[in-house]
Amino acid sequence: MESYELHQLSNFSIPFASLSPGFHEYQFKVDREFWLVFDKAPLKESDIEVLLKLEKKPRLLELSFDLKGTYRADCDRCLANTTFGIEVSHHFFVKLTTALPQKDEDPDVLFLSPEETILNVAELVYETILMGVPIRFIKEECEEGTVDCDHKVLDILDAGGTEIEEEEKGSETETGVVDPRWSALLDLKKDLPKGDSDIEK
């Protein structure tokens, strides 16, 4: 099994030592390869464009990230893997110093030895993405009770031994009339005589 490490995201490496003072711009793409490195993340797939504006000052780099795109994650409510939008910006400061950082230092301030020449910003991009994703992934349509991301729940309910007829399930999912009281209905159905699986419309 191949293992993926940060250095494999070499396109995120900035040879800052050789940069002239002033502003520099970079563009990155956060796609599947990125998540092979950050494999503990709740995301596995994304199509996120990253714009980085870097200002090089004496002993300091100012990094300004603007991220925009989409990612896929499992809806925490219905478990369906679905697409979410993301738009997030964040600033980091990188101090070039040999002085040890203080314990309660600002998390947005990083320290790098002046002897370093390359900064890989993949971890900073990762942190910025985490700032832009919700604690719970809930597809908007799921919250509203419309049908889009409820297919999997329907499948799970079916697999659970309840006798929902295929035809009925089809009409339920295609008309966009998903009853938000699903679990209540399921409980109700358990008490119904076998064969009587008519779902309230």
Q: DSSP alpha helices (H): ranges in the chain?
A: 32-37, 122-132, 140-144, 151-159, 166-174, 182-190
In the complex with Zn ion, the residue whose CB is nearer, 120 or 146, is 146
Shortest Cβ 8–Zn ion spacing (Å)? 33
Shortest Cβ 180–Zn ion spacing (Å)? 11
Shortest Cβ 36–Zn ion spacing (Å)? 26
In the complex with Zn ion, the residue whose CB is nearer, 149 or 157, is 149
- In three-state secondary structure terms, 67 is strand
Contact footprint for Zn ion (CB under 5 A): 75, 77-78, 139, 142, 149
Alpha-carbon distances of 35 from 6, 14, 73, 101, rounded to whole Å: 10, 20, 12, 29
By beta carbon distance, the residue nearest Zn ion is 142
Shortest Cβ 149–Zn ion spacing (Å)? 4
Rounded Cα–Cα distance for residues 100 and 113 (Å):
10
In the complex with Zn ion, the residue whose CB is nearer, 13 or 81, is 81
Taking Cα atoms as reference points, which of 80, 74, 108 lies closest to residue 94?
108
For 114, the token pair is 């002046």
In the complex with Zn ion, the residue whose CB is nearer, 143 or 163, is 143
Rounded Cα–Cα distance for residues 63 and 136 (Å):
28
Shortest Cβ 69–Zn ion spacing (Å)? 20
Query: Tokens 């064969």 appear where?
Result: 195
Neighbouring-strand partners of residue 111: 95
In the complex with Zn ion, the residue whose CB is nearer, 125 or 142, is 142
